[in-house]
Amino acid sequence: MSKTSPSAPGLHVDSLLAHGGGGYDRATGAVVPPIPTATTFVRDEAYELRDPGHLYSRDDNALFLKTEKLIAELEGGTESRLFASGMAAIAAVARTVKPGGTLLVQSRIYWGTTLFLRKLCARNNVALIEAEAGDLQVFLDEISVTKPDLVWLEVPSNPFLEVADIRNIATRCKEMGAVLCVDATAATPLILKPLSLGADMVMHSATKTLNGHSDLLGGVVTTADADSEAWAFIREERKLAGAVLGSFETWLLLRGLRTLSLRVERMNANTRALAEFLHAHPKVETVLYPGLSSHPQHDLAESMMTGGFGSLLSVLVKGRKEEALKVAGALDLFQRATSLGGTESLVEHRFTIEGESSGIPENLLRISVGIEHIDDQISDFDQALSEI
């Protein structure tokens, strides 16, 4: 049999990624897979499926499988499932908690997650406990006392860039029989592998750096144990509830993944340099970025992350809301838009979105650092900060 793909063992992930998971199209030899457009698949005269793997495209298709296999490989997991968005992936995991159960979520994380979990848990009679993960002992005690079914962490957190101690939290979760899922969107699997630190599952909004081009919505969950009860539920949930990713989006995602390692490398280097520049700037009060030695969890971040600290950072400018908005308004290269992880740099004033009650400081600007030249990024912030 001829070798159809660069096989995983021994290859660096960069190589796997560059080949989009490897393998050419069997029918034509094309180096890029076709986009499967059929929703249904025929049976033969004896009513057997022509291909047992293909029945109806809400279940599965060859492109999902290829992309999921590549992501599972990146995460060091056993199986992945793609979803129609990051939120659809979060919803599938959160719904593993049955009525009467308990869900413990880290507070001060992605606003959409917090908002959704509050509504879902209230509707489904699930006790929702929100706790800060910055103080490890407090969070561990919370797990022991509340005995949650599911613990949800976000590392690093968005927009505060807090870094939870996955290793110790995973150990306590195992002792207490809780499932631990980590949203590692802001890190990417190249930097942070929660499964290797003991988490049961890892989730990403593929909308962000995995795809990296701000042109699709997608989500993915990967498990360490494909035989677990929670995973069986998630697998079934995707098929039955039907929050599948479209074939075209899957194809775009796989194309985006081909350059993931290059993009992450550049974004990481840029973010570090920009963080250092901002940290030293007289108009800046604080920079939130785990790569700075001034970050309260810098050593912890260093012990869990490899090759960088991600491309997300937040900055508290000196002054109030007016000054923050003035800086955001004066930026030229950094586009004023939500989201993160694209090739283009973005800036967002989260206070405007989430409001007073969210606890977001009014002078905070969240920055997603893209792949532009670092000198242009720095000079854009330099001129914008000179406006206040």
Ligand X SMILES: *Cc1c(COP(=O)(O)O)cnc(C)c1O
Q: Which two tokens stand for residue 316?
A: 């508290």
Spot the catalytic one: 58, 69, 167, 255.
Answer: 58
Minimal distance in Å, beta carbon 122 to ligand X? 20
If you ran DSSP here, which 8-state letter would residue 348 be given? E
Name residue 82's beta-bridge partners.
220
Window 192 to 211, contacts with ligand X (CB under 6 A) = 205, 207-208
Residues 67, 52 contacting (CB under 8 angstroms)? no
Nearest to 314 by CA among 343, 280, 290: 290
101 binding ligand X? (CB under 6 A)? no
217 binding ligand X? (CB under 6 A)? yes
Residues 113, 91 contacting (CB under 8 angstroms)? no
Spot the catalytic one: 66, 81, 108, 110.
Answer: 110
Q: Which of 158, 261, 270, 377 contacts ligand X by CB under 6 A? A: 158
- Is 183 considered catalytic here? yes
Which ranges constitute the DSSP H helices of the chain?
A: 13-18, 62-75, 86-94, 111-124, 136-146, 166-176, 229-241, 247-257, 260-279, 298-304, 321-330, 350-354, 374-385
Minimal distance in Å, beta carbon 272 to ligand X? 20
Distance between the two ends of the chain, CA-based, in angstroms? 67
Residues 91, 135 contacting (CB under 8 angstroms)? no
How many of the chain's residues bind ligand X (CB under 6 A)?
A: 17
Question: Distance (Å, rounded) from C-alpha 345 to C-alpha 335?
Answer: 6
20 binding ligand X? (CB under 6 A)? no
> Phi and psi (nearest 5°) for 168?
-70, -35
Window 335 to 364, contacts with ligand X (CB under 6 A) = 340
- Sign of the four-CA dihedral 111, 185, 136, 273: negative
Q: Which two tokens stand for residue 194?
A: 């929660």
Q: Which of 86, 159, 342, 361 contacts ligand X by CB under 6 A? A: 86
Residue nearest to ligand X (CB): 86
185 binding ligand X? (CB under 6 A)? yes
91 binding ligand X? (CB under 6 A)? no
Nearer to ligand X, 33 or 86 (CB): 86
- Is 208 considered catalytic here? yes
Q: Which of 16, 71, 87, 190 contacts ligand X by CB under 6 A? A: 87
Build a one-symbol-per-residue string for 267-286: x at contacts with ligand X by CB under 6 A, - elsewhere: --------------------
Choose one: 14-22, 79-87, 236-244, 321-329; the region binding ligand X (CB under 6 A): 79-87
Minimal distance in Å, beta carbon 339 to ligand X? 6
- Contact residues for ligand X, defined by CB under 6 A: 85-87, 110, 112-113, 154, 158, 183, 185-186, 205, 207-208, 217, 219, 340
